[in-house]
Structure 1
Amino acid sequence: MTTLPSRAGTKGVPRATRERQVLAVATEEFGLRGYEATTVAAVAARVGVTKPLLHHYFGSKEDLYLACLNPVGDGLLDAIRDAMADHATDAAPTPLRVMGALFAALDGRREAWFVLYDGTLPPGSAGARRAAYYRGAIDDLAAVGTAGLLQEAGAGDPLDADALKYAWRGLCTALVRWWANHPEQSPEAMTRRCARLFAASRTILAVDDENA
Structure 2
Amino acid sequence: MARSNAGTKGVPRAEREQQILAVASLAFGTDGFAATNLADVAADAGISKPLIYNYFGSKEGLFAACLDEAGDLLAGEIERIARGDAVGIERGIRTLDGMFAVLDEQRHLWRLLHDRTAPPNGAIADVVSHHTQRIDKLAHEGVTELLALAGDTDERDISVMTAAWLGIVDSLMDWWVAHPDETAAQMNDRVTRLFTALLTDIVRGQS
Give the secondary-structure state (helix, strand or coil) at the position aligned to 2:63. helix
Q: 1:121 to 1:154 in 2, by over 3 A?
A: farther
Structural mapping, 1:120-199, within 5 Å: 120-153=117-150, 158-199=155-196
Partner of 1:33: 31
What is the aligned residue count? 204
Q: 1:130 to 1:98 in 2, by over 3 A?
A: same
Gaps of 5+ in 2: none
Cα distance in structure 2, aligned partners of 1:80 and 1:74: 10
Q: 1:6 to 1:87 in 2, by over 3 A?
A: closer
> 59, 62, 72: which is aligned to 1:61?
59
Which one-letter code corresponds to 2:178 in the other structure? N
Q: Conserved in 2, the CA contact under 8 Å of 1:28 and 1:112? A: yes
Q: Conserved in 1, the CA contact under 8 Å of 2:64 and 2:124? A: yes
Q: TM-score, normalised by structure 1?
A: 0.79
Q: 1:58 to 1:145 in 2, by over 3 A?
A: same
Percent pairwise identity: 39
Residue-by-residue CA offset, 1:109-128 (whole Å, 9 max, x unaligned): 11212333333332331111
Q: Conserved in 2, the CA contact under 8 Å of 1:84 and 1:97? A: no
Q: Conserved in 1, the CA contact under 8 Å of 2:88 and 2:145? A: no
Residue-by-residue CA offset, 1:116-163 (whole Å, 9 max, x unaligned): 333333233111121111111101100100113223456565333233
Cα distance in structure 1, aligned partners of 2:72 and 2:191: 24
Q: Conserved in 2, the CA contact under 8 Å of 1:8 and 1:15? A: yes
CA RMSD of aligned residues (A): 3.0
Q: TM-score, normalised by structure 2?
A: 0.81
Gaps of 5+ in 1: none
Which one-letter code corresponds to 1:9 in the other structure? T
